[in-house]
Amino acid sequence: MNNILIKNGLVVDTEWMRHSDILISGSKIKRVAPFIDYDTLPPDTTVVRADGLCVLPGIIDAHTHYHLVSRGTVTADSFREGSRLAAFGGVTTVVDFADDNKVSLLDSLHQRRKEMVPMAIDYALHQGVYKYRSDIKKELESIKRAGVGTLKIFTTYKDVGYLVDNRDELKSIFKDAKDLGLMVTVHCEDDEIISTISASWKGTYKPIDHASLRPAEAEAKAIEYVGNIAGELGMPVYIVHLSSKKGLEAVRQLRMNGVKVFVETTPHYLFLTKEKLEGADGPLYVMTPPLRSAEDNEALQEALVNGEIQVVATDHCSFTREQKLESDDCRTIYPGIPGTEEMLPLIHTFALTSGKLSLSQIVNLLSTGPAKLFGLYPEKGSLEVGTDADITIFDPDCSWTISKDTIHSASGYSAYEGFNVTGKVIMTYLRGRLIMGDDIYLGLNGDGRFLRAKR
């Protein structure tokens, strides 16, 4: 059996930080103690010194689109590339998405699971629901039995067939989800606001116009809409990739009305502004919802610090530079950017520069929080004895510059090119096995496991 002692790292969980030793035995955490004596170790134990390093539960990216087939093309990072770049980012679990083929949710789920077999890190799935059908409760039951704990709903993308636009039908899906204990997550942009603006638009369709064509008001209105449905049913709702101050204000209003709203945001809405959409590289920064203003960044940063945001995830949806630059018309540029690998260093750098976010909060936002919300805890998102030995060893002092040459996405670019960050992942363990160490990738395709949500 594989025995590893991680010695004298700064072990961080959501409660506290302390210098501790962690003994891994096989795929599980066997002991956590301030000092584990060498004399007590099994004979073949490998000792890994972690002096000066942080030891975190494996990071979870709860919003990824690896190998997304969309708009007649496919994203750059498939499951092999996605697993590899995730390992470099200290990410040991992702929660990706199964599309809805509108015939059978279970078949859609099985299809996605089959595609994901090459994964080298663990993964769970959110199930898209793009169409109401009269027997949908049975379908939802079947995907729950198959291990899915969350649904993904869109309030936009009518043009590509993702929108459930009848309120009663949407409410009925929410009600079924509540009865079955499934979490409903929603991409919030009001389709009507977007189509009204678009119908009277006299401007150009440059990348920068993307921000005007899909304004923050659309996000706020959709949040209010789905929040009210959840409120009427007395159930929670999870808002994916919150991008704006107006959206945040809508969340606050719902919470004041007693609705339980969970919020996810992404590094790009925290640290990038729509000015990135100007200039020749503008298409590289097109994603939906669009980038907003510095004021929006600040509002979301403040919400992060205050505990108003529960999860940071990336919405990793990477197209190559060439794919992105095929068009400079914001209606046809493939939407989405890479981000899984940069997430932890970016959030850690914000924590250092603002002085307002602790390592424990980072662990909560990037690991424990999503693990709990998506039914993966405590096997994932914790360093408790008996759970999966998913461990990220992180040098909090290492300064480096993000660039296409220092990260591993097959997209060939980073949206954070030139960002100086502090904090680097040194080693990533998945279930007791080193999958990245000293800049060498050791992941095994096919070794990733599908995680059944236990909501």
Q: How far is the CB of 295 from Zn ion (least distance, A)?
A: 22
Q: Which does 335 bind (CB under 5 to 8 A by kind): ligand URP, Zn ion, none?
A: ligand URP
Nearer CB in complex with ligand URP: 61/390: 61
Nearer CB in complex with Zn ion: 99/315: 315
User: Chain-centre distance of CA 228, in angstroms?
Assistant: 25
- Expressed in percent and rounded to 5, the helix, strand and coil fractions of the chain are 35, 25, 40
Q: Which does 287 bind (CB under 5 to 8 A by kind): Zn ion, ligand URP, none?
A: ligand URP
Task: Give the helix/strand (H/E) hosting 371.
Answer: helix 369-373
264 binds ligand URP (CB under 6 A): no
User: Which of 149, 231, 336, 423 lies at the binding interface for ligand URP (CB under 6 A)?
Assistant: 336
**Strand ranges in 130-234 using DSSP code E only, listed in sequence order:** 150-154, 183-187
Q: Smallest Cα–Cα separation from 56: which of 362, 423, 260? A: 362
Render the burial of 294-333: b for 16+ CB within 10 Å, e for the rest: eebbebbbebbbeebbbbbbbbbbbbbeebbbeebebeeb
Residue 453 contacts residue 151 (beta carbons within 8 Å): no
Q: How far is the CB of 222 from Zn ion (least distance, A)?
A: 11
**Strand ranges in 311-450 using DSSP code E only, listed in sequence order:** 311-312, 391-401, 420-430, 433-437, 440-441
84 binds Zn ion (CB under 5 A): no
288 binds ligand URP (CB under 6 A): yes
Nearer CB in complex with ligand URP: 156/361: 156
Q: How far is the CB of 154 from ligand URP (least distance, A)?
A: 7
Nearer CB in complex with Zn ion: 87/239: 239
282 binds ligand URP (CB under 6 A): no
Query: What type of residue sits at position 310?
Result: Q
Here the tokens at position 110 are 């099985």
315 binds Zn ion (CB under 5 A): yes
User: Which of 231, 335, 423, 432 lies at the binding interface for ligand URP (CB under 6 A)?
Assistant: 335
User: Chain-centre distance of CA 358, in angstroms?
Assistant: 20
Angle (CA) 453-377-94 rounded to 5° is: 65
Name the residue number minimizing CB distance to ligand URP: 335
Interatomic CA distance for residues 394 and 56, integer angstroms: 8
Interatomic CA distance for residues 444 and 241, integer angstroms: 30
Strands 433-437 and 420-430, bridge-based pairing = antiparallel
Q: How many CB atoms lie within 10 A of CB 103?
A: 11
Nearer CB in complex with ligand URP: 9/247: 247
379 binds Zn ion (CB under 5 A): no
Binding mask 136-175 for Zn ion (x = CB under 5 A): ----------------------------------------
227 binds ligand URP (CB under 6 A): no
3-state secondary structure of 366: helix
65 binds ligand URP (CB under 6 A): yes
User: Which of 144, 187, 268, 424 lies at the binding interface for ligand URP (CB under 6 A)?
Assistant: 187
Interaction site with ligand URP (CB under 6 A): 65, 187, 287-288, 315, 317, 335-336
Interaction site with Zn ion (CB under 5 A): 187, 315
